[in-house]
Every structure is written in C-alpha cells, then in structure tokens.
Chains A and B, each alone.
Chain A
Amino acid sequence: MADRSGREISSAIAVPAGQRKRHSALVRVTHWITTLAFLALLLSGGEIVLSHPRFYWGETGNVNTRPWLNLHLPSSRDTVPTGYGYVLPDENGWSRYLHFQAAWLAVGTGLLYLLFGFFAGHFRRNLFPAASDLSMKPLGASLLRHLRFERPDKEEAWSYNMLQRLTYLFVIFVLFPLMIWTGLAMSFGFTSEFPWAVRLLGGQQTARSLHFLVTILLVLFLFIHVLMVFVAGFRNRMRAMITGRATPPTE
C-alpha cells in the first residue's frame, strides 16, 4: 500500500465501487443487539401478562378489585376470571428469567450506545436537529411525504430526515428510559432502596400499567420503523444496517 492515510485505505478496502459508508459499526452492532433484546422482552413480557391480563391504577390491584383495563385474553392462572373455559400452561418461570436477562442486555447495550452517541458525535451529527430545521413548515412537508409513503429523496439516503430524528430521539430519550423506570418501579428490591421511583409514578400498579402502555408505543414504533424500511427500499436499508454501506439512490 502506497498511501497509508486512513481514509483512503479504509475506503479502498471496505467500500466496493458505487457504495458509501452509511452506519458506523457501533450503531449497527447496538441496533441488532437491541432488536434481539427487544423481541425477547416483548415475547416474555407478553407471556407474563397472560398470568394476569388485567391492569389497575394506584398501588394495589387483584382479582377482587376493578381493573381499568381487562384484555379479555385467556390466562395461565385459574384464579383469573377470564370467561374462557380453559387455563393456559404456566410459562412464567423462563419468561421472567428471559425478561430480566434481556433487560440487562438492553440496558448494557443502551449505555454503550449513549457513550458512543455523546462522545463520538453520533447524536450531534446524526440525531440532534439544527434549530433551523425545527420550524413547522418543513416538518409538515416531511410528515406529508411519509403519510403518502413516498420514497425518501437523495439526501435522505445518507442521513436521517427531521421526522426520523425526532422519532428516534423520542424513543431513545423518552420511551426507553420510561420503560426502564416503570420496570424497576415494580421490583420490591429496587423500590426498597429507591421508594421515590414508584411513588413518583403513582404506585406499583400504575407502574405496571405504564410499563404496558409504553410497550404498545414501542410496538407501534417498531411497526412503522419496519414499514418505512420497506418504503425506503428494503435491500439497501438492510444492507446499510448490516454491512454499513449503502448504494446511492438511482433516479
């Protein structure tokens, strides 16, 4: 190799002709670990809900009290009045094990991502919007393009558009922390040490209800996120998130 300047070497080795760098290795790795952990949490969490598919506000709630939400699903416990003539098998043992292990994985990955995001400039470069971009007009136009399922323009192949940025920021800095907080607020060991964590939320059952409601928001996000990947071009976007490289859009 004649030229040892990092940029040329890495582009000569890593990026085939016609492709450009899109996502850093750390973003890709944390993205897929988070995906794995999220699916494990969703599966095991849904399973745990089946042992008591009713939700309450405040501190206490059980089959003798009125729920604000009854999912009307069959249950894995015969003590829950469901209206179904059968009881599902008890899968809470492995579900709870998996839920907490996946939660540790998600939290660890999230911390790594946050460090990278703040110190390596990922947030500044790719997520934090410039103040000038936050006016209603371009945001409205972007929203309209999304609602029409229009393919993104050329520029968006290389960075996130404003709607994307705001959504990702909301998921990363609002929904994920809320999920962790409401989850920990249900742990007796945790709330013994940090009682305000559950008191601030309004009680043990409120924490459980919020944990469930934020799950619905995250599933909604997942659904739209995957839909948008298809709208924007599934192969190219998947290649970008797996190999880190993308092909410029042809028009």
Chain B
Amino acid sequence: MSNIPRRKFITTGLAVAAGASGIAVAAKVAQHHGLLPPDAGGIYGPGEALTYAAQRILGRHSMAREFSSTEISTSPFANEVDPLGDEFKRLQAANFVEWRVTVDGMAARPTSFSLAELRSFPTSTQVTMIGCEEGWTYIAEWTGVPLSHILDRVGALSGVRYVVYRSIQLDWWESVDMADALHPQTLLAHRMNGSELPVPFGGPVRMRVPRQLGYKNVKYINRVTLTDNLKPFGKGRGGAAADGGYAWYAGI
C-alpha cells in the first residue's frame, strides 16, 4: 500500500486534534473575558456563545436605533400577562404610592426606593422599538431612570457581573450583563408616550433594554439584585425565559 492514505489519515487526525484544542482554548479565553453566556453549555452552547461573544466584541457600547416621534406606533401591542395577583391589585388600587423597588446584593448601600423617589431621579427619554421574539414590533417613547444611575446610588461593588431583576409576578425575572446594565439606554421606565406607564405595558415600572428582545423587558419590577454569579438564581441560566428553554442573551 502507498503511504498516501496513512499520511492523509495522520494529517486529518492532527487537524481534528488542533481544531478541538483550538475550540477549548477559545472557550477559555472567552470565559476569561466574560464572553460566555450562562447558557453556554449543552448542544446549542456553541451557537449561543458565538452570537453573544460576537455582539459583545463588535458593539459593546452600540446604541439601539432611535426613531422620530412621528414614527411612534399608533397601535402598540401590550401582549398578555398572567393574571395580576392580589398584592398588585392592592397596590394598584392605591395608585402605586406604596410600590417599592428594592435594590440589593453586591451594593455598598442596599436601598428600597419608593415610586415617588424613582420618579424624582434624573430621567432619560428614548423613542425606541420593542420587538418580540415571535416577530412583532412597535415603537414608543419611553422615559425612566437609567439603571446605571440606580447602580451608582446604591454603590455597586466592583465585582458585580450581572444585574438580576424581578417582577412582582411570581417566577418572572431576567438578568443582563454589565454591558447592558450600565448602557445609557437601559432604563427603569415609568412613562410611555408622555403618560404614566400603563399597567398592560408594565406600569408602574418596567425594565427597558432596547438592545434585547421583549422578553428581557420585564414588567412590574419590584426587585433588582446585583451579583457576580447567576448560578444561585432559578436553574442558574440567568432568567425565567432561559430556565424555560429560551436563550439568556436576546440581542438576536
């Protein structure tokens, strides 16, 4: 027999080995630079890690598209939510004066803010699109406190890597990395199209993360937790959607 097939076999083997160790090294480097999403394991891990890493490398500080006020949707769609509980109804009946957003975790000064306090903080206004993973979209004007302002107020510790935020609705929570948490367009939104944020759209307070899909824009926020590790939360995949089989990162 010729030695060609053997040579071919050896080069193929070497190529496979080099490829496999290349991937292992890439994963280590990505891990080190915080480019691996919490759902990077499993069969869909490679695609997910590539998407997240690519978007963080290409546009960590990019700005979501902003629109002119003439482009605001005349018929936005609120989507449906699970029936609101008794606690919510009680707060709603009192015009949300007792609504509080508790900020805790890795903060020098964990604080519980009333709605009135949140409304008194500096605001940012944006006309941006909200898009659902299902495919539908609308454009609205959102006003709220930049999440970065809240993190400053509570004295976020330097080791914080994720911000976890929860709805008053049981089992509805998500998290973002610091690229989105500190992003100027990420808001605790309390106004929409010039009025107080309507309840169907998440009032009194909703997280607005315009660089990600609708499911990261959790409604009825009453708790924000700063952490360096998502493992202790839920199934450890960083959000209710991710625990339910969806991707944690929703920039695509």
Q: Point out residues on A near B: beta carbons under 8 Å.
A: 1, 9-10, 13, 48-49, 51-52, 54, 59-65, 77-79, 92-94, 96-98, 100-105, 186-193, 195, 198, 204-205, 208
Contacts and interface: CB of A to CB of B under 8 A. Distances in A.
Contacts of A51: 133-135
B245 A94 contact: yes
13 contacts: A52-B135, A60-B71, A62-B73, A65-B75, A93-B246, A100-B252, A188-B213, A189-B211, A190-B251, A192-B65, A193-B62, A195-B65, A204-B137
A29 to B, nearest CB: 12
Q: Is the interface of A mostly helix, strand, loop or mixed?
A: helix
B131 interface: yes
Contacts of A78: 80
A193 B59 contact: yes
Identify the interface centre among B76, B136, B138: most chain A CB within 10 Å of its CB.
B136
Contact of A189 (B46, B47, B55, B80): B55
Nearest to A187: B252
B189 interface: no
B80 A79 contact: yes
Interface residues of B, number: 46
B157 interface: no
B245 A93 contact: yes
B14 interface: no
B2 A1 contact: yes
A10 B5 CA distance: 10
Nearest to B77: A62
A62 B252 contact: no
A96 B75 CA distance: 27
Contacts of A103: 47
Contact of B136 (A9, A63, A198): A63
A251 B210 CA distance: 65
A197 to B, nearest CB: 10
Contacts of B131: 186, 188, 204
A189 B136 CA distance: 17
A67 to B, nearest CB: 10
Interface of B: 2, 4-5, 44, 46-48, 50-51, 55, 58-59, 62-65, 67, 71, 73, 75-77, 79-80, 129, 131-139, 210-213, 241, 244-247, 250-252
The 10 closest A-B pairs by CB, nearest first: A189-B251, A101-B47, A93-B245, A193-B59, A97-B44, A64-B75, A62-B77, A62-B136, A192-B62, A189-B55
Contacts of B44: 94, 97-98, 101
A60 B48 contact: no
Given A48-B135, A59-B129, A92-B133, A192 B64 contact: yes
A104 B50 CA distance: 8
Given A60-B138, A100-B252, 4 more contacts: A9-B2, A65-B75, A93-B245, A97-B47
Given A188-B64, A204-B129, A59 B137 contact: yes
Nearest to B4: A9
Contact of A79 (B58, B79, B211): B79
A189 B252 contact: yes
Contacts of A48: 133-135
A60 B51 contact: no
Identify the interface centre among A13, A60, A188, A192: most chain B CB within 10 Å of its CB.
A188
Contacts of A100: 47-48, 51, 247, 252
Contacts of B55: 187, 189-190, 193
A213 to B, nearest CB: 14
Contacts of B67: 59
B137 A205 contact: yes
Nearest to B71: A59
B2 A97 contact: no
Contacts of B63: 192
A60 B58 CA distance: 26
Contacts of B250: 188
Given A13-B4, A60-B129, A104 B212 contact: no
